[in-house]
Structure 1
Amino acid sequence: MSGTSNLIQLWQIPSTRLLLRGSKLSKEFCATLCFCKKMQTATYEVVNGSYVPVAQTKKEISTEDKTLTRIETVGAFQKLPMVMPSIDLLYSAIRKAKRVSPTKGIVNIAKRERNRGARQLDALMKELAVPLRTYMENFPNKKYLHPYERSLIELTLGDGNYEEVLRRVDALRKKVVSVGKEHASLCAKSSSKREAEELLGEGMKKLEEIFKLEGKAVDDLLNIAKTLRAMPVVDLETPTLCLVGAPNVGKSSLVRILSTGKPEVCNYPFTTRGILMGHIALNYQHFQVTDTPGLLKRCDEDRNNLEKLTLAVLSHLPTAVLYVHDLSGECGTSPSDQFITYKEIRERFSDHLWFDVVSKCDLLQEKPVVFITEDEDADDLDVARYRRVGPDGAIRVSVTNEAGLDELKSRVHNLLVSQSARIKSQNNNQEKLEVHT
């Protein structure tokens, strides 16, 4: 029993004290103690009379998956590193490298010169390669981004361009490291002061030529960083109103009325050339509003990147939809075409909270507008009714004479309050699901 009590007492001694007294313990006891502590942090099962570590359980794997899911949030573009122009990076590195002196205490002139040359080439290589490595480590891998931000990269920069620029930057880094090490090694093995000076000059010139020739990759990365940082930041927890409709139907004008956003307002199609974000403050509550590029009547394969941006917002962000219709004939898209697009989008995103607005009501005539390309007699009753009053439940507004704006603001507020309740409910359900699993 005395041996057992001694073992229990030793088990309760902190590990630091055990180390201090390690000389008094037998090797067998230390091995036993280490195995017991390992048993506390690992799961084992008995196989053929021996303890074998159990593989990672499904529960642990699912926990890791949830952690990765939580990482997938928006806002990555605002954390991008500052990229220096390639010419500035090069000449800054050259200046710093030339200030590197040889190791003190070397009396022999030839040894001192080859030491200086090797150190300066190594310094130049590092001054160029370290920033490039920093860029590679801090620009996010696209597959770990939120789907909305992945879509922004693909549709704004072009499919594959982001990865290609990062690949070129990494290739430049590898070449700089390879050439720098090679010339530094040659310089360190030189046999005379003159040879060391010549090899130093050759190495400096070679690294400068490489960086000038392939440094455009750094400048392309700088432009990518500028473009991505300019993307609007969306808070997934804040209710968001997304204005959708054909080009030039008046979405931007309504955004200016409803929010702090100030998009360009002109009388030509596709004025909105990207996703524009504003904020709404109603009854001490804060909401977001997005102005999106207009949608035309065509299949997804034929849509341009501006239209795909609109679809990306609806697909990947928890938005309520304010769909804007123009029946006045001023926007350039016929009411019949608007109706076809509207039905398609409404059906595709039927799970979104939604309401409709007919804009420019001050320009509406008693008789519905019919474009010359349309056959009024061939239209069905739904299209004919849409030409007259728009979708069921739509309200009519006019920015020009301010008709219907008070009702619009009230409806927007009610819609966003409902969207806020929906987001909270979804978050609560997600938390309950995580607890049960």
Structure 2
Amino acid sequence: MQALPTHPGSTFLMNVSNTVRLAFCGKARKGIYVAGAELSGNSSVIPTKEKSHRVADEKIEKILKYQNVGAFQSLPMVMPSKDILCSAMRKAKMVGPTKGIINLAKRERNRGAKQLDALMKELAVPLRNYVERFPSNQNLHPYEQSLIEFTLGKGKYEEVLQAVDLFRRRITSIGKQQASVCAKSISKREAEQRLSEGFSKMEELFQNNGRAVDNLLNIAKTLRAMPVVDLETPTLCLVGAPNVGKSSLVRILSTGKPEVCNYPFTTRGILMGHITINYERFQVTDTPGLLRRSDGERNNLEKLTLAALSHLPSAVLFVHDLSGDCGTSVSDQFLLYNEMRERFGNRLWMDVVSKADLLSNSSSASYTTENNYKLVGPEGSLHVSIKTNQGINELKQKVHEVLLCELSKTKSMPPNYRDGGDDISEAIGLHSR
């Protein structure tokens, strides 16, 4: 396993490891088996809980190896391929022969070999640095792994890094070959010719394959533009079907300014805004809309939303549109809501019915059946309208209350819960069985 780079959260992860193991050992003292603990009685009898505990230990160890979020903001600056080539050619041509060589032929082949070697290094070293300094996907936080997969495409990140590394190897091999050929020249004229040919071959190679570097440059720009999520800051995640009004609510609740249009999937990624309450800073995320269908049929935008819910510690604000104006039927929204409520029911949750000015009856009623849902939404839901400002002040107050509750919840939890999200909670649950 590749060693993780030094990171501000490294000490914090060591403390997490100790916290988790101490917690598990405490349970062991109460008679619950922990993998690696001494067995009492007949050692040949393996407890029935051993398998689930081993799975839990493996999951914990895997989670503790993740980097904290923020790796994308530490990516190296990638130069365009043409700039790397121009800089390398200029620097290589400035390299002179070793001093003290009197014979013209020897001096010229020495100069040629040194220049070709310098050109090879000036081209290959930046590529090696890129490959080494871009983080391994398997060591990223699960949320950032999901961002890479659903934004770039599955395997694209690794594919581009492998292409750059293969390109570097070809440059190194051909550069050494050309320098060796030049060093074996017999006459001054032959050395000059070998040097010119070597420069031409290296230049042609870089021009023909430089797209690998430019692809990495584009990936770096895309990832660096991703919103930064602070796991220590309480987050409110707006969820719902496409075009139900999530982006409009984010605009009035926070500093976020997502695009607002009257067509599905306006939100093309995770967008972040912020709220300050009593000098405390909170995050608000606008997520792509979800449709009622199985996970295998979801597009990458929908998978981004599920990744945010799965891997980020956040409260949920579920937005319902009962007006029939969003393009998703109320019946489908009802089924989607029930599915999400079941999957993420452990989160702080609030329901908002948007576009209340378009509803014939926005009064309160009990939530017992789908018919009631079609009229008023879930029990306790708040009806709001951006157009008439109905319920907006009450919404802001309730959002503040939920975020302050999330803050208390976050502060009371050990750091391992915050970083691992639902994954580490599941692992600890296995140890409790």
Q: Structure 1 length as normaliser, TM-score?
A: 0.79
Counterpart mapping for 1:2-151 below 5 A: 69=64, 72-151=67-146
Counterpart mapping for 1:16-415 below 5 A: 69=64, 72-366=67-361, 382-415=369-402
Residue by residue over 1:258-290, the C-alpha shift from the partner in whole angstroms, topping out at 9 and shown as x without a partner, is 000000111111110110000011222210000
Shift of 1:381: 6.5
User: CA–CA distance in 2 between the matches of 1:260 and 1:366?
Assistant: 32
User: CA–CA distance in 2 between the matches of 1:67 and 1:328?
Assistant: 46
Name the amino acid aligned to 1:214.
Answer: N
Match of 1:400, SS?
A: coil
Shift of 1:183: 1.0
User: CA–CA distance in 1 between the matches of 2:295 and 2:61?
Assistant: 32
Match of 1:119, SS?
A: helix
**Which of 397, 400, 408 is 1:421 aligned to?**
408
User: CA–CA distance in 2 between the matches of 1:229 and 1:428?
Assistant: 25
Residue by residue over 1:231-264, the C-alpha shift from the partner in whole angstroms, topping out at 9 and shown as x without a partner, is 0000000000000001111100100010000001
Determine which structure has more spread, i.e. the larger CA radius of gyration: 1
User: CA–CA distance in 1 between the matches of 2:361 and 2:316?
Assistant: 28
Change in Cα spacing, 1:207 to 1:141, as seen in structure 2 (3 Å) is same
Match of 1:204, SS?
A: helix
* Contact kept in structure 1, 2:65 and 2:139, CA below 8 Å: no
Shift of 1:428: 6.5
Change in Cα spacing, 1:198 to 1:429, as seen in structure 2 (3 Å) is closer
Match of 1:213, SS?
A: helix
Residue by residue over 1:102-133, the C-alpha shift from the partner in whole angstroms, topping out at 9 and shown as x without a partner, is 11111110010000000100000000000000
* Contact kept in structure 1, 2:362 and 2:383, CA below 8 Å: no
Identity of aligned residues (%): 67
Name the amino acid aligned to 1:408.
Answer: L
Name the amino acid aligned to 2:252.
Answer: I
Name the amino acid aligned to 1:78.
Answer: Q
Report the equivalent of 1:43: none
Name the amino acid aligned to 1:399.
Answer: I
User: CA–CA distance in 1 between the matches of 2:388 and 2:123?
Assistant: 61
Residue by residue over 1:172-228, the C-alpha shift from the partner in whole angstroms, topping out at 9 and shown as x without a partner, is 100100111111111112111111111111111111111111110000000000000
* Matched positions, count: 361
Match of 1:288, SS?
A: strand
Match of 2:78, SS?
A: coil
User: CA–CA distance in 2 between the matches of 1:84 and 1:78?
Assistant: 16
Name the amino acid aligned to 2:345.
Answer: S
Task: In structure 1, list runs of 5 or more residues that go unmatched.
Answer: 1-57, 369-379
Shift of 1:416: 0.9
Shift of 1:400: 0.9
Shift of 1:305: 0.5
RMSD of aligned Cα (Å): 2.2
Match of 2:414, SS?
A: helix
Q: Point out 4+ residue stretches in structure 1 off by more than 3 angstroms.
A: 65-68, 428-431
Name the amino acid aligned to 1:423.
Answer: T
Task: In structure 2, list runs of 5 or more residues that go unmatched.
Answer: 1-35, 38-56, 419-423, 425-433
User: CA–CA distance in 1 between the matches of 2:269 and 2:81?
Assistant: 29
User: CA–CA distance in 1 between the matches of 2:415 and 2:95?
Assistant: 60
Change in Cα spacing, 1:365 to 1:68, as seen in structure 2 (3 Å) is closer
* Contact kept in structure 1, 2:81 and 2:210, CA below 8 Å: yes
Residue by residue over 1:139-173, the C-alpha shift from the partner in whole angstroms, topping out at 9 and shown as x without a partner, is 00000000000000000000001001000100010
- Relative to structure 2, which stretch is displaced further, 116-125 or 87-96? 87-96
Shift of 1:366: 3.7
User: CA–CA distance in 1 between the matches of 2:397 and 2:362?
Assistant: 30
Change in Cα spacing, 1:428 to 1:215, as seen in structure 2 (3 Å) is closer
Name the amino acid aligned to 1:386.
Answer: Y
Change in Cα spacing, 1:66 to 1:159, as seen in structure 2 (3 Å) is closer
Q: Structure 2 length as normaliser, TM-score?
A: 0.80
User: CA–CA distance in 2 between the matches of 1:260 and 1:428?
Assistant: 27
Higher relative CO (Cα under 8 Å, sequence separation at least 6) belongs to 2
User: CA–CA distance in 2 between the matches of 1:137 and 1:81?
Assistant: 10
* Contact kept in structure 1, 2:356 and 2:362, CA below 8 Å: no
* Contact kept in structure 1, 2:356 and 2:385, CA below 8 Å: yes
